[in-house]
Amino acid sequence: MKLSNLGAAAALASVSSGHTIFCQLKTPAQTFPVSHAICTPSYDGPQTDVSNSNMACNGPPNPTTPSDKIIEVKAGDTVGAIWRHTLQSGANDVMDPGHKGPVMAYLKKVTDATKDAGVGDGWFKIQEEGYDNGKWGTDTVIGNGGNQVIQIPDCIEDGQYLLRAEMIALHGARSTNGAQLYMECAQINVTGGKASKKPTTSSIPGIYKSNDPGLLIDIYSKPPGTANPYKIPGPAVFTC
């Protein structure tokens, strides 16, 4: 069997065990409990239709439970989106390592983060990691014990935001809608922002198309490299 086929077979075998959930937020002050200020699902499955409104903060077919909590975050601080295979998993059970792909983080300013579903315009990307020298963004998160490191821009306005962390698994992305997208939204209140720069925003759904080269790709037979670098889906990262 060819190496590419071996990789594909291994990925298919791990599909059900590879799911993941962004279930905790870590700030410089503390690591908050599971599901605190995050609308977490009871099932760890992906979204696959990028035109679906559940692309914003997850939802059916994954039953989610709302939270009435909001986490205080200072502009400029680095936070951690903590990923786990299930809500009961530990740091050694983040996501099947055969699931390779990019990781991203977005913010959306809202009036009430506990009630806003995140659907529509207002989103801007603040972090991403794709593929570099044989290493995917998902590899970094798994290697960090499930911690996706995200810096909150110091130039944004104060107020409530949805913080959307996302991991994309590309083991099945050889066909349309084969990429598995995992995302949840933390409910945060940002203070200390300079309000010196306004980001250009995008809509979710709308940031991705099913035929984006970063979502429709065979990472086994045509892996990214110098001649064909991986293109991370979505808009450019907002910088101050």
Q: CA-CA distance, 111 to 97, in Å (whole number)?
A: 38
Of 9-23, 59-73, 164-178, the range with the lowest mean pLDDT is 9-23
How buried is residue 226: exposed, middle or buried, by Cβ count under 10 Å (0-12/13-18/19+)?
exposed
Give per-residue pLDDT as tens, 205-234. 999 999 999 999 999 998 898 889 999 999
Residue 183's beta-bridge partner residues? 166
Phi first, then psi, for residue 124 (nearest 5°) are -140, 140
CB 142 within 8 A of CB 192: no
Grade residue 18 by pLDDT with cuts at 50, 70 and 90: low
CB 162 within 8 A of CB 184: no
Q: Taking 90 as the threshold, does the pLDDT of residue 12 lie above it?
A: no
Q: CA-CA distance, 231 to 37, in Å (whole number)?
A: 32
Give per-residue pLDDT as tens, 113-166. 999 999 999 999 999 999 999 999 999 999 999 999 999 999 999 999 999 999
Q: What does DSSP assign to residue 17?
A: T
